[in-house]
Amino acid sequence: MNESTSLNIVFGGVEISVAHLDETTETVKVRQLPIKDMPRYMACFEDEEKTVELFCAQSPGWASALSRESFEEILTKGEELNLDFLERHAARSQKRREKIMPGMAEKIMQAALSRLPNGSASSPSNVG
């Protein structure tokens, strides 16, 4: 762990200047998320706008007013601070679920694949 990473952990994140589409700027803290926010991070993982807002503790819609460069900088910094822990959190959660419901993940995957049109699950040429 380098000194910069250690300081981010001590201060709970890193402050950066971001630009908005209306050409205003502000300084925001890209947070190292608290453990209690890991389920929220996982829930919005595929929604980059919500993820950016979570990283900066901002209200819904805030991220849509950012410049593309600032938006991507927040994502990059936020993932540097949080993604490795989220991966370990997800693995621990999956392991606990598997202990309680052995084979459930496999059953869910099979059920999802069975709902695809005939042949889609086994034929990559049908994708797209």
The residue type of 89 is: H
Does some domain include residue 54? yes
Range of the domain at 58: 3-116
Please indicate, yes or no, if residue 122 is contained in any of the structural domains: no
Whether 35 is covered by a domain: the verdict is yes
128 domain-assigned: no
With vertex at residue 74, the alpha carbon angle to CA 40 and CA 64, rounded to the nearest 5 degrees, is 80
Is 90 a member of any domain? yes
Please report whether residue 121 resides in a domain: no
**pTM: predicted TM-score of the whole model, two decimal places:** 0.69
What are 106's two structure tokens? 């496999």
Number of domains in the chain: 1
Cβ neighbors of 78 (< 8 A, separation 6 or more) are 30, 31, 51, 52, 55, 56
Residues in the chain, pLDDT under 70:
1-10, 105, 109, 118-128
pLDDT tens digits along 99-108: 777 777 677 7
Residue 123 covered by a domain: no
